[in-house]
């Protein structure tokens, strides 16, 4: 599944930059983001060094920002900021005991993500919360409902195809995640490196 996440993300970005009128590339690309958010949730549950995990994401977000802007010709925060902010919210919530306080934290975080124009914004946080607080087929139902709201708010009907990733997660991933293994250096470097390559090709063309 991790290989699928990287491949579909690459397909999505290639299509967005070089074939913007062909929706097939973007449809395939919808599978990537939920897998990355699920991987974040697994990392949150497994890591023995939360501070180190956060610092790695911070460094990756900073390194990726310029390639992201040059490759996709956008002026907003890349998706690693979404991952990092979601992780910070999960970690902060784990220290709280009152439901009201946890809910308030998530609401404020979602608003901040929207106002700062992070890639996917509050959608990313809500998706990782689905993986955090629901199980089995409730994941699929909650993800479907989230996609409906997101489509109504942003007119993003292609996002419905992302539901396939949650279906795959429910069917093939247990509490231990997926059996597929990706070298850590490749998993961590793929996002900025592939964006840098796309940026160079885009500028050269």
pLDDT at residue 28, rounded to an integer: 97
Residue segments in the chain with a per-residue pLDDT below the cut of 50: none
* pLDDT per position as a tens digit, 9-62: 999 999 999 999 999 999 999 999 999 999 999 999 999 999 999 999 999 999
Q: Distance between alpha carbon 138 and the CA centroid of its chain, in Å?
A: 20
- 173-181 long-range contacts, Cβ below 8 Å, gap at least 24? 173/1, 173/38, 177/39, 177/42, 178/1, 178/2, 180/1, 180/2, 180/3, 181/2
pLDDT at residue 1, rounded to an integer: 86
Q: Which residues contact 3 (CB under 8 A, 6 or more apart)?
A: 180, 182
Place of tokens 């700062």: 116
pLDDT at residue 205, rounded to an integer: 84
Q: What is the pTM (predicted TM-score) of this model?
A: 0.94
Place of tokens 């439901």: 99
Cα distance between residue 3 and residue 88, in whole Å: 26
Vertex 46: Cα angle to 81 and 52 (nearest 5): 50
pLDDT at residue 177, rounded to an integer: 61
pLDDT at residue 176, rounded to an integer: 54
pLDDT at residue 172, rounded to an integer: 86
- Cα–Cα distances (Å) from 44 to 71, 83, 111, 114, 149, in that order, read 29, 11, 22, 22, 26
Cα distance between residue 90 and residue 101, in whole Å: 13
């Amino acid at each position: 599944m991790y290989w699928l996440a990287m491949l579909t993300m690459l397909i999505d970005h290639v299509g967005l930059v070089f074939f913007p009128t062909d929706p097939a590339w973007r449809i395939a690309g919808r599978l990537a983001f939920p897998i990355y958010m699920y991987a974040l949730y697994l990392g949150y549950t497994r890591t023995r060094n939360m501070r180190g995990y956060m610092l790695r994401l911070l460094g990756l977000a900073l390194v990726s920002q310029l390639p992201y802007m040059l490759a996709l010709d956008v002026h907003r925060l890349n998706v690693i900021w979404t991952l990092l902010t979601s992780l910070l919210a999960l970690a902060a919530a784990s220290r709280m005991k009152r439901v009201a306080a946890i809910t308030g934290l998530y609401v404020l975080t979602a608003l901040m993500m929207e106002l700062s124009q992070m890639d996917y914004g509050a959608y990313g946080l809500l998706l990782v919360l689905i993986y955090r607080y629901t199980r089995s087929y409730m994941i699929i139902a909650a993800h479907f409902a989230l996609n409906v709201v997101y489509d109504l708010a942003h007119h993003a009907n292609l996002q419905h195809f992302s539901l396939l990733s949650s279906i795959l997660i429910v069917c093939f991933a247990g509490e231990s995640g997926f059996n597929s293994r990706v070298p850590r250096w490749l998993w961590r470097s793929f996002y900025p490196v592939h964006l840098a390559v796309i940026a160079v090709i885009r500028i050269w063309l």
